[in-house]
Structure 1
Amino acid sequence: MAEQPLHGMRVLVTRPVHQARSQIERLHTLGAEAVALPLLEIVPVTEAEHVAFNAIKSKILDLDLYTGVIFVSPNAARIGGQWIDAYWPQLPIGVHWLAIGAATADSLEACGIPAHYVNGGYDSEALLCDPLLQQVAEQRFLIMRGEGGRELLADTLRARGAQVDYADLYRRTCPRYSPDLIKRTIFAQGLSAILITSGEALSNLLELAGTEPDLLSTELIVPSQRIAAIAEARGFTRIRIADGPDDTSMIRALRPAD
């Protein structure tokens, strides 16, 4: 029988539905009970939203005018790749395709877009340290993201003299669950750990489940010191920082059952 170091653990998986399957399968393989409760819904902009849709379309049609196009997440890569495929049968020449994190680069590769990323880097801070983004005065960049994302990347590039535009491809919304489902999922049997990969997902968890002591004392696995600080400020008392937001790193940070 394969080794199951997580046997006996009940782990809350909070990734969006389309991103959770691999994590759930890995947890099952390692012996854990994976409980799915997506805390973000990814809602792409549609043609019915005329202003937002046309704003994205104009940026996509002008891709060849940009020095670099930056994708901030696998969702931005997946949805952005669909936009590019619709309007550019062949990729424009001379554009640097940049990804935050290996998972984002992998999503772009699946769309036929070879992207540069910082090996071992998972956030804007890591990409901003890359040599490609140091001397950028008078260069143009397009950031592919969801509405309301962090401003650090654009603000820093602008401070370095670049012109930066956004393509806000999707919205992140909080799913709605009944109080009974929340009770059965989180409180009825108790959780060994919760996997959280964004501050927004953490806020949604608290909105849905409240600030019950049983929740705040559950071990929380997060991918960065930034999100750990948010969790601590919101009252969580047992926080572990994984090496990154990818499935392997998040699961490796789990403590085996006693």
Structure 2
Amino acid sequence: MLFINTRPQDRAENLSHALRMAQIDVLDLPLLQLLPRPWSADLSELYRQLPAAQVIVVVSPTAVQIGMDYLKQSCITLDQLQHVQWIAVGDRTAQALAQYGISAEVPKVETSEGMLQLPVLQTLNSGQCLAFWRGEGGRLFMMDQLKQQGMRILNFILYERRCPVFTQCKLANILSLLEKQAQYAMVVSSEASWLNWIQLMQDQKQLIAKGHYLVLGERLYQVVSNYKKNQATCFNITRLPDLKTDSILQKLVVVQGNT
């Protein structure tokens, strides 16, 4: 079975290598490209307020890189943030923060829902300040939930998320390849990735139906399930607890065994 690895190019290599070592045919097809937002007056004002935050939520290694670059540009030091509790969406983000000497809390499930279950967020009082280092369109659910609890949110949009031009240019070859497949499997790590996939395949519902989608977390599972229901199409969906290579391999073995 063909496996489509949709992770951003800089995060896909380890998974693709492990799958190929397991004799699984892999197509590297990133559905998200992360492009830094330029420094602006809005970002400058947000960084000025950052020392007032009790918690900083960092959603990706890219957010770490850009966030730290702009922290330096803002002339704020990590010493001024020693009181802050850092939260990383997953292990790779935590590792990126660790390179700056920062220890971060990591949820068991790498989703907004998983992060909301962390004890540090359960014990916050109304009116306390949280900062989000994120990309355009990401983590809106989590921020909305915290706003409803009376938290003050500093919303750092550090990068934009787009469907890579490279992927769009390969569309004809992708369609030709999928037409030859009885079934394929695909990892879907975010709603933005899923929406980009649907946009690419907008006239190819028969090819969408060939997919077995490995999706991260319950909320994304519901997003993909709702598409399946609303479009009256039929395909298989499997929930992933995280994006670790072993977790994906284990699920994929089950998928292959059912085909």
Answer whether TM exceeds 0.5 for this pair: yes
Unaligned stretches of 5+ in structure 2?
Answer: 229-233
CA distance in 2, matches of 1:190, 1:132: 47
Q: Which protein has the bigger helix share? A: 2
CA distance in 1, matches of 2:78, 2:154: 22
- Counterpart secondary structure, 1:79: helix
TM-score (norm 1): 0.84
Unaligned stretches of 5+ in structure 1?
Answer: 1-8, 48-52
Matched with 1:63 is 50
Are residues 1:208 and 2:200 paired?
A: yes
Matched with 1:30 is 22
CA distance in 2, matches of 1:217, 1:65: 50
Are residues 1:242 and 2:240 paired?
A: yes
CA distance in 2, matches of 1:163, 1:186: 47
Please give the per-residue CA displacement for 1:3-46, whole angstroms capped at 9, x wherever unaligned. Answer: xxxxxx32111111111111111111111111011111111112
CA distance in 2, matches of 1:10, 1:229: 24
- Counterpart secondary structure, 1:170: strand
> CA shift at 1:185, angstroms?
4.4
Alpha-carbon spacing, 1:232–1:130, altered in 2? closer, same or farther (3 Å): closer
Percent of aligned pairs with the same residue? 24
Matched with 1:12 is 4
Please give the per-residue CA displacement for 1:79-101, whole angstroms capped at 9, x wherever unaligned. Answer: 22333355445442211112223
CA contact (8 A) 1:11 1:193 kept: yes
> CA shift at 1:190, angstroms?
5.5
- The size of the alignment, in residue pairs, is 244
Alpha-carbon spacing, 1:191–1:111, altered in 2? closer, same or farther (3 Å): farther
| Amino acid paired to 2:83 | G
Q: Compute the RMSD of aligned alpha carbons.
A: 2.3
- Counterpart secondary structure, 1:256: helix
- Counterpart secondary structure, 1:149: coil
Matched with 1:72 is 59
> CA shift at 1:191, angstroms?
4.9
| Amino acid paired to 1:256 | Q
Are residues 1:182 and 2:188 paired?
A: no
Are residues 1:251 and 2:249 paired?
A: yes
| Amino acid paired to 1:29 | M
CA distance in 1, matches of 2:46, 2:245: 32
The structure 1 residue matched to 2:85, chosen from 96, 104, 114, is 96
Matched with 2:98 is 109
